[in-house]
Structure 1
Amino acid sequence: MIVITGATGRLGSQIVHRLLERVPADRIGVSVRDPAGAAGLAARGVRVRRGDFSDPDSLADAFEGAGQILVVSANDTGETAVAQHTAAVDAARAAGAKRILYTSHQAAAADSLFAPMPDHAATERYLARAGTPYTALRNGFYASTVPLLLGQALETGELIAPADGPVSWTAHEDLAEAAAAIVADEGRFDGATPPLTSGDALDLEDIATILTELTGRTIRRVVADDDEWTAGLIGHGVPEGQANLLLGMFHASRRGEFATTGPALADLLGRATTPLRSVLEAAVAR
């Protein structure tokens, strides 16, 4: 049996649906905090059980009988996230899983300036020491982040944000399809995968250019002062910790942490990756 955690989240749910195209439903299980939210999967024959990284005892039942377990990374950061991931790894090993997969990031590194990246690196190190064969999916940066960075750009004509650098913006849909292919083809990757990214790395200047083309009106990239931008977020109700985390994303992109791209994702898909332009077209249409 293949067990997918976080199966009601944006990435996990799409992985399960893609996996159902490749594997019979009775070979798939999901571990979710609220089984009621996965009623649709249960109706299709998927085994649905409660599993919560913060409640390790629940994972024993959720992971029972699994040959492979895909751990979708937690939304938390820091020690909390690493503790949740290691609890999932420990539970997977205790359940007798033959392979553990984990949704990591192409920029996973202990010295990253963006807080989630050291968490991914720590989890990968734990997996490497655990002794069970594993695959760390080195996913590109989610393209769905970009609309959140636009602010009022479509209304004001100014895309205001701190100085940035190129990012390998990658669609959830592509990453989900690739994850399903890797899980279905057991043992395809041992250890960390190559970067699973779109073919291009674009910065906000590039994004402003695409928006200008899509809207027919000039969208100008305006570089904001770090402190002023962060203070503005806090002034609009964003918690200080979250604002500083977001600023770290810009610091990391300036250093080129997210600029790596590669052909591995397209090779897995057997087609070109989804361009960021498609994501922006949807944002403009809204």
Structure 2
Amino acid sequence: MIVVTGATGTLNGATVEHLLRRLPADRIGVSARDVAKAQHFAERGVRVRPGSYDDPVALRDSFAGADQVLLVSANDPAADVVGQHRTAIEAAAAAGARRILYTSQHGAVGSAYPPAAIHAATEEILAGSGVAWTSLRYGFFGSLDQLLGPWRQTGVIAKPADGPIPWTDRADLAEAAAVILAGDRAFDGPVTLSAPAATLDDFAEAASELTGRTVERVVVEDEQWVTEQIANGTPEFVARLTLTMFQAARSGYFAGHNPLLAELLGREPRSAAEQLAS
């Protein structure tokens, strides 16, 4: 059995959908904090049990009988996220899982981007767990509107100086995870799953081609950008955390490309331009 956490969210929920296309439903389990939100899976024959990274007893029951457990990274900024990951890893090991998989991040080790430290620490815990493990180092994914700002209205992408970032389609990542989970090939340790990296200049060029009008890339000084974000209602800590992503990118921390994602998908992953057009 494969047990997936975070399946009521967009990313791992899509992974479960892809697993259902590859495996019988009775070989798939879901661990959810709110089982009511996973009812649509239960109705299709997926085993649904309650589980929280703050409740090791419930997690062990939720993971019982699992050959593989896919752990989604926690995202509560007020929580001890690394501690939560340790709890989940220990619960999976105690339940007898033969492999633990974890949704990590591209450039998890040695990055100047602070959230990467959480993934690096979690990978260390996995390495010491005594269980075979795979860290899925995903490329960046999420809302392009959040990344690029209101370019459709302004004709401008005004952000701090950046560098190449492997902005990757969430749907491609979910499908690749399902391919790994359902397949016979073992992936040990960290594996990078990302689309080719793109800069904001690349996005501006793609946006110009998409709309037929010039979309300009404007570089804003770091502190000016933070000040503008705060003035627009963004909490300062969020603005400064986002700034570190741009700073790390322009230092080359997210550069590079691994063809594994395309290999798993059997096609090229969606490019930055294709994602922008969707």
TM-score, normalised to structure 2's length? Answer: 0.96
Match of 1:262 among 253, 258, 261: 258
Q: Secondary structure at the match of 1:31?
A: strand
Shift of 1:78: 8.8
Q: Which moved more, 1:272-281 or 1:208-217?
A: 272-281
Q: Secondary structure at the match of 1:21?
A: helix
**Number of the residue aligned with 1:35:** 35
| Identity in percent | 51
Change (3 A) 1:255 1:140: same
Shift of 1:187: 5.1
**Number of the residue aligned with 1:271:** 267
Q: Distance in 1 between matches of 2:238 and 2:33?
A: 24
**Number of the residue aligned with 1:71:** 71
- Superposed CA deviations along residues 61-86 of structure 1, whole A, max 9, x for unmatched, are 21121111000111235972211111
Q: Which amino acid aligns with 2:51?
A: G
Shift of 1:146: 2.5
Q: Distance in 1 between matches of 2:62 and 2:234?
A: 35
Q: Distance in 1 between matches of 2:114 and 2:49?
A: 31
- Superposed CA deviations along residues 98-156 of structure 1, whole A, max 9, x for unmatched, are 110111112101x42212211111111110111101111121111x3432122121111
Q: Secondary structure at the match of 2:57?
A: helix
Two-structure CA RMSD over aligned residues (Å): 1.5
Q: Distance in 2 between matches of 1:154 and 1:50?
A: 42
Q: Which 4+ residue blocks in structure 1 deviate beyond 4 angstroms?
A: none
Q: Which amino acid aligns with 1:76?
A: D
Q: Distance in 2 between matches of 1:145 and 1:114?
A: 19
**Number of the residue aligned with 2:167:** 169
2:127 equivalent to 1:128: yes
TM-score, normalised to structure 1's length? Answer: 0.93
Work out the number of aligned pairs and report it.
Answer: 278
2:138 equivalent to 1:155: no
Shift of 1:4: 0.2
Q: Structure 1: 5+ residue runs without aligned partners?
A: none
**Number of the residue aligned with 2:49:** 49
Change (3 A) 1:131 1:79: farther
Match of 1:197 among 191, 194, 206: 194
Q: Which amino acid aligns with 2:97?
A: A
